Amino acid sequence: MKSLLVLIALLLTACGAVQGGPPSHGGPVQDQVSLIDTLRSKNVTVDISGGVSQPFLSAEAKQIHPDGSGNATTVVDWVAPPHFFLKGRVLVIYLGSDATIVSLLSGVLGSQFAGI
């Protein structure tokens, strides 16, 4: 699940959330806390640590190219296939090709809106 740790690091940076936010009270995924709670309820280990900067993500999600290669002003060469998910205030990027992780994220966040 190393890839999922990268996902959470990207998620925290993209959402501008602080580590160790308020406890969730359940319900659908709408923010960082509810995403982490939902993943943990599915027996996924979530380690909130560090951060990753993706400056091009300051753009709105709708400006990201359908293939996930960047936006109108920035081209990104990812180290692995990108998968972008958006639900509520949560923007998640998974870089990788593990079908189990893509399926997990699709189940929690809905279909990806960009990427491969």
Residue 23 confidence (pLDDT): 54
Say what the pTM is.
Answer: 0.74
Structure tokens at 86: 């958006």
Tell me if 91 sits within 8 A of 11, measured CB to CB.
yes
H helices within the chain, ranges in order? 2-15, 32-41, 99-109
Question: What is the structure's pLDDT at 61?
Answer: 85
Chain segment 5-57, per-residue pLDDT in tens? 444 544 443 444 444 444 555 678 998 889 999 999 999 998 887 777 777 77
Dihedral angle over CA of 9, 56, 79, 85, nearest 10: 60
Count of domains for the chain: 1
Alpha-carbon distance 27 to 13, whole Å? Answer: 23
- Tens digits of per-residue pLDDT, 90-104? 889 999 999 999 999
C-alpha to C-alpha distance for 108 and 39, rounded to whole angstroms: 8
Containing domain of residue 14, as a range? Answer: 2-115
In a 10 Å sphere around its CB, with 0-12 CB exposed, 13-18 middle and 19+ buried, how is residue 46 labelled?
Answer: middle
pLDDT for 114 equals 94
Look at residue 91 and give its three-state secondary structure.
strand
